[in-house]
């Protein structure tokens, strides 16, 4: 179990085990929670406290931890995530009878900077999908991965977690295991289906094992890992002559943005992305609004475009 990798009191380790086994959180999520708790434990120890006695932790200690992170110039989004970890931890402690009150209750997240996801434009996305076209196994795999990330809007963890049995080329769908072990079915674009079909005819070049179920395989035959997927996208972007760093999640952002620009409704895009909350999907709407305003200013005779001039 992942929880054994952390130096934490038994109660905190039990919480991580609860997330991993009962909640079905992904290994990456459990590791992130564990690291947050180790940092909080280190802070408490500097105050001669510990998570071994969680009932001694007060709201003042939570605020002190936030102030310490602010001094370290921790990103506000990271502070918010760590607070979320602590909220979950102390709710678990409360249900287990280890604390009489939740010291994180009522502590608000820091106001977040307005950051919007970056997306490729349509021409850039298409250029990436055609970069480095090769008949070799690696080239076919790389382009199949890029097509699935962009064509279905999958998280990189979802794409890399796909098994052969999850793909139905006949029905043009793929079965995806999303966050919190929530399963959904995502459509495959025609391009994705064709890329996958071609890659799967060459997949055995990566391994001779008939028991390996992973769809996307690494150069050494096992399941393709996130680091190699990042390198694949960087290489394709360079071949396509794209001016900025391209990572797998940018293709997911591009999928959402292009769907909305093409007229898809927000609820449908929410379902396709596997977002639990509509507000998460709404982050993408500013991108389409910006584009609409530019088109309006350029095309409408009474757009008021002079307001942009000084």
- Catalytic positions are 155, 179, 249, 252, 275, 284
Residue of 221, 193, 92, 265 whose CA lies nearest to 213: 221
Token representation of residue 20? 């991993």
- Distance CA(164)–CA(193), nearest Å, equals 13
Between β-strands 173-177 and 167-168, what pairing exists: parallel, antiparallel or unpaired?
A: antiparallel
- Distance CA(285)–CA(56), nearest Å, equals 44
Token representation of residue 55? 């009932």
Q: What is the CA radius of gyration of the chain?
A: 23
Exposed/middle/buried for 297, CB within 10 Å: 0-12, 13-18, 19+? middle
- Any alpha helices (H) in the chain, and if so which ranges? 10-17, 27-46, 59-71, 76-95, 122-129, 137-152, 156-160, 190-202, 226-240, 248-261, 266-273, 278-281, 285-299
């Amino acid at each position: 179990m992942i929880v054994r990798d952390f130096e934490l009191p038994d109660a905190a380790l039990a919480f991580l085990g609860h997330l991993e086994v009962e909640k079905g959180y992904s290994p990456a999520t459990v590791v992130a929670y564990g690291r947050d708790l180790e940092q909080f434990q280190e802070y408490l120890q500097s105050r001669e406290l510990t998570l071994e006695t969680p009932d001694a932790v007060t709201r003042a200690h939570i605020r002190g931890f936030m102030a310490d992170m602010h001094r370290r110039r921790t990103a506000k989004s990271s502070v918010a995530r760590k607070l979320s970890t602590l909220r979950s931890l102390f709710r678990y402690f409360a249900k287990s009878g280890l604390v009489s009150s939740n010291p994180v209750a009522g502590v608000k997240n820091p106001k977040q900077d307005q950051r919007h996801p970056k997306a490729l434009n349509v021409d850039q996305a298409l250029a990436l999908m055609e970069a480095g076209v090769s008949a070799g196994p690696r080239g076919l795999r790389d382009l199949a991965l890029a097509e699935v990330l962009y064509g279905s809007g999958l998280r990189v963890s979802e794409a890399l977690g796909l098994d052969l049995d999850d793909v139905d080329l006949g029905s043009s769908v793929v079965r995806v295991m999303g966050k919190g072990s929530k399963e959904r079915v995502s459509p495959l674009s025609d391009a994705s289906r064709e890329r996958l079909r071609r890659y799967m005819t060459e997949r055995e070049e990566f391994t001779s094992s008939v028991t390996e179920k992973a769809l996307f395989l690494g150069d050494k035959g096992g399941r393709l890992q996130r680091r190699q997927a990042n390198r694949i996208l960087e290489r394709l972007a360079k071949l396509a002559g794209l001016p900025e760093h391209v990572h797998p999640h940018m293709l997911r952002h591009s999928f959402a943005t292009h769907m909305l620009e093409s007229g898809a409704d927000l609820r449908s895009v929410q379902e396709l992305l596997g977002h639990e909350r509509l507000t998460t999907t709404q982050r993408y709407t500013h991108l389409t609004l910006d584009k609409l305003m530019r088109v309006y200013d350029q095309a409408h005779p009474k757009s008021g475009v002079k307001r942009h001039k000084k």
